[in-house]
Amino acid sequence: MSTAFYWSIAGTAAGLILVGLWGVLTRKHVLRIALAFTVADTGANLLLVWSGYLPGRTAPVIDGSIPASEITSAVVDPLPQAMVLTSIVIGVAVAALFVVVGVLASRRTGSADVRRMKELRW
Amino acid sequence: MIRTLAGLVIVLILGAVAAAVIPEMQMREELQGVGYSYASRGMDETGSSNLVTAVIVAYRGLDTLGEVVVLFCASTAVVLMLTLYPIGVKASEPSRIVAFTAKVLPAPIMLFGVYFIAHSHLSPGGGFPGGTVIASTFLLVMLGSSSVPDRNGRLPAIESLAGLSFGLLGFWGIMTAGQFLNNAFLGTGTPGSIISGGLIPLISIAIGAKVASEFSGVFKAFRNSGGEA
């Protein structure tokens, strides 16, 4: 992986977080806000995985192709990947909760527009 | 207008912060700290070929137990709200393509999920992705059928049993090795064989069953909340 590609991943991750945040702040439809939230979530996960990357190395799954003595110089950091696995699952659960609250709130006000939800006014 | 401008200002400020901070994270050439410890000792200590699973289930097993609790809270909240306040949008009749796919694909997809869970210590995968794959088969079956699932299913029983067995496997470690969620008291076996990794495969099965039943319960609550098609 070239250096340019390495940094473009970081740029993509930061871009996804910012786009998601932009969507959460400016969109009006409650399901679009939930979607923007998951986009930001994806960006955060990508940034975490990127931070554990080491050049020229393989996934932290040890099979016959990696000699036991060279593990520490052959695999990328397993810790960020473990954290991201946790983060993805929690992200799905939070997104489901987000959608349910959004749908129920739009039932209550008769519109999916967040400007019509007076209880949530900011 | 105000909202768009405020959003633009906030996003630009955070973008400037990201542009200043991210280039400071230099590309590393070597593993450091806990990452190095996990990579150098992980396979000997846990018997798991998959170091990511070793971190999730063995080294940070207590955190995973906490994560399972968070997932349980979220799914319970979703099911509770959908049961108390039904959405009442009728589901449309499935198209022929979806109905046919829902007859053919669930079995291979579920087999793939079971493989994910059973080989969590050997190859990429684990309890969380495997459980999600299995839950997706239930979603596919629900999408391909116009009738709603039975309200009195056994999903809560499976979910409770899986959560309970995760905790009991942890206490088993206290009884035998004096440490909660101790991984090695069963013996770690030969890394790479299906019976290896100590407690890791058992906990993966518990996590997989719990995640699968929780997500299936969430899908079912959404489906039942709409009423008969």
% of residues, chain B, pLDDT over 70: 99
pLDDT band at residue A121, thresholds of 50, 70 and 90? low
Nearest C-alpha of chain B: how many angstroms from A114? Answer: 12
Q: Which residue's structure tokens are 């993966």?
A: B204
pLDDT digits (tens, 9 = 90+) for B154-175: 888 999 999 999 989 888 888 8
Of B75, B124, B128, the CB nearest to A61: B124
Number of domains in chain A: 1
CATH of the domain at A45: 1.10.287.3510
Q: Which residue's structure tokens are 């995968």?
A: B125
Is the model's pTM score more than 0.95? no
Determine the residue of chain A that is closest to B3 in CA distance. Answer: A26
pLDDT digits (tens, 9 = 90+) for A5-49: 888 999 999 999 999 999 999 998 999 999 999 999 999 999 999
Chosen for mutation from A66, A86, A109 (greatest number of chain B CBs closer than 10 Å) is A86
Per DSSP, what are the bridge partners of residue A61?
A: B50
H-helix or E-strand containing B202?
A: helix B200-226
Of B11, B14, B87, the CB nearest to A107: B87
Q: Is A39 helix (H, G, I), strand (E, B) or coil?
A: helix
Q: Is the pLDDT of residue B210 over 80?
A: yes
Q: Is the pLDDT of residue B113 over 90?
A: yes
Nearest C-alpha of chain B: how many angstroms from A78? Answer: 5
Residue B97 CB neighbours (<10 A): 9
Q: Looking at residue B108, what is its pLDDT? A: 96
Nearest C-alpha of chain B: how many angstroms from A97? Answer: 6
pLDDT band at residue B28, thresholds of 50, 70 and 90? confident
pLDDT digits (tens, 9 = 90+) for B60-109: 889 999 999 999 999 999 999 988 888 877 777 889 999 999 999 999 99
Q: Is the pLDDT of residue B205 over 90?
A: yes
Check CB contact under 8 Å for B81 and A96.
Answer: no
Of B36, B52, B215, the CB nearest to A85: B52
Of A61, A81, A100, the CB nearest to B81: A100
Give yes or no for a contact between B73 and A96, defined as CB atoms under 8 angstroms apart: no
Q: Which residue's structure tokens are 């009442």?
A: B88
- Closest alpha carbon to B39 in B31, B83, A108: B31
H-helix or E-strand containing B156?
A: helix B155-177
Going from N- to C-terminal start, the domains of chain B cover 2-226
Chain B partners within 8 Å of A72 (Cβ): 31, 36, 39-40
Residue A73 CB neighbours (<10 A): 14
CA distance B58 to B38: 11
What DSSP line would sit under B73-110, residue for residue?
Answer: HHHHHHHHHHHHS---PPPPPPPHHHHHHHHHSHHHHH
Residue numbers of the domain that contains A63: 3-120
